Amino acid sequence: MNVTVYHAEQCDPKKCTTVKLQKQGKIRVVTKLNMLPRGALVLDPFTVKSASPEDREIVEKNGIVGLDCSWNRIQKSSTMFKGKKYHRTLPFLVASNPTNYGKPCKLSTAEAIAATFYIVGLKDNAVEIMSQFKWGPHFLKLNYELLEAYSCAKTSAEVVKIQNEFIGG
């Protein structure tokens, strides 16, 4: 697993999924943007292209970059999102973390990373990430049908279509 997370230091360290994953040796945390790896898939809530199975090669070769910041202050962290080539958003999913339980699209960093792994077809990595948290396996169960559907799509456009059918359905 090659995961790097830019930590904006805006959250409670006791509840921070990034801190826990770093302690477990699952991810690398950086506090300077110039320390982020080039060519990695960047989880970016401001872009229009969704993560999809077509991103698997990028994830396997260069990894995933996540952003750990408060959802209340995410606009201030948007300087991270200048490039766009490998930037991806996540489709509709429901959070299971204790802070945002049941809220659509308000995923913790761990949930976002796991969802990305699952969608690109690296499901074992998703399970490994979520197994670090008591509530983690529930995230995969809660979103199972959507994650499976997204992981069976071929392109970002297909993922968005599945999302839209689910939301409108």
Compute the chain's Rg from CA coordinates. 14
74 confidence band (pLDDT: 50, 70, 90)? low
Per-residue pLDDT, averaged over 121-140, amounts to 96
* Per-domain residue ranges of the chain: 3-168
In eight-state DSSP terms, residue 15 is T
Least confident of 65-69, 70-74, 101-105: 70-74
Averaged pLDDT of the chain: 88
DSSP H or E segment with residue 154: none
Q: How far is CA 154 from CA 3, 47, 121, in A?
A: 23, 19, 11
Phi, psi of 101 (to 5 degrees): -50, 130
Angle at 82 between CA 41 and CA 27, to 5 degrees: 35
> pTM for the complete prediction?
0.90
Q: Is the pLDDT of residue 76 over 80?
A: no
For residue 17, the model assigns a pLDDT of: 86
